[in-house]
Amino acid sequence: GSKIRADILSPALGHPTGFPVYRNKWAGASAKGDGMGTLHRRYGGCNKQVRAKPYKAQGPEYTALEYFHTYMSNGLEINGPGARK
C-alpha cells in the first residue's frame, strides 16, 4: 500500500539528502534530548512500524539499503540536516 496507518508514504527518492534529521519523537526518547538521528535509525523505525525485526544499525543490511538510496538520489541537492514529523 501507499499508507501506514493514516500517513501517506513518500517515494524513497531523495530521502538520503535530508539526513541527519531532527525529529520531535526522537528528542523525547533521547537521553540528551537532542532528537537528531541517522538514516539507519530511521530504517529501524520503519521496520518497527511494519512489525519487522530491525537490523543492527550500521550493519550490512542497512548499509546496502543506504547505498541503494544514495545511488538512486545521485544528482539531487543535499538539503540536510532537516526536520521531520
Residues annotated catalytic, as ranges: 46
How far apart CA 23 and CA 9 sit, in angstroms, is 17
How far apart CA 51 and CA 82 sit, in angstroms, is 26
How far apart CA 15 and CA 27 sit, in angstroms, is 20
